[in-house]
Amino acid sequence: MSKLKVLITREELAAKVKELGQRISKDYEGKELLLVGVLKGGFMFLADLVREITIDVNIDFISCSSYGNSTVSSGIVRILKDIDYDITGKHVLLVEDLIDTGLTLTYLKDLFMAKHCASVKICTILDKPSRRKVDLQVDYQGIIIPDKFVVGYGLDYAEKYRNLPEVYVVEEI
């Protein structure tokens, strides 16, 4: 059995999303911005974030999975669904639910850089910097959380709990 304990409320999430949306709108003013949501976990954050962005944007999604154990990132990333756009010359912003080891986004950033876009930056709503295995620049860092397994706001545990509007810590009982 597992029990869920609230770690971050909807109000805290909404305030941070608004702040990030405002920063992004300012920084990318006059530029062609493509937001790439990292599925599945990034879907809820991306949906909220775009409603706080006041400049024109394009939206796309990429879906990837790490090989091996599903709760531990191996760094070997398999693309399950690639983006639909030609991104040559575009400013790409990768939108992620949570950065843990940093291995997934390091791989994705390198992949996008090789496609000759104008720039590739990273935005995440949650970050566990204490777990980092690689040096990764997080351009838009949301809320820093401790080294605990979390669910909700897009994040799952065995594909459950993605729909919860808050972020919870899973406690085994």
Give me the active site residues, please.
Answer: 100
Nearer of residues 48 and 97 to Mg ion, judged by Cβ: 97
Q: Which of residues 37-56 bind ligand 5GP (CB under 6 A)?
A: 41
Among the listed residues 41, 102, 142, 152, the single contact to Mg ion using CB under 5 A: 41
Report, in Å, the least distance between residue 137 CB and ligand 5GP: 13
Catalogue the E-assigned strands of the chain: 2-8, 33-39, 57-66, 77-81, 91-99, 119-127, 140-144, 150-151, 167-172
CA distance 160 to 6: 16
Among the listed residues 61, 101, 120, 122, the single contact to ligand 5GP using CB under 6 A: 101
Torsion of CA 40, 41, 47, 50, to 10 degrees: -110
Q: Which does 103 bind (CB under 5 to 8 A by kind): Mg ion, ligand 5GP, none?
A: ligand 5GP
CA distance 57 to 34: 6
By CB under 6 A, residue 149 contacts ligand 5GP:
yes
By CB under 5 A, residue 127 contacts Mg ion:
no
By CB under 6 A, residue 103 contacts ligand 5GP:
yes
By CB under 6 A, residue 100 contacts ligand 5GP:
yes
Q: Is the dihedral of CA 40, 147, 171, 45 positive or negative?
A: negative
Among the listed residues 83, 97, 122, 142, the single contact to ligand 5GP using CB under 6 A: 97
β 2-8/167-172 pair status: antiparallel
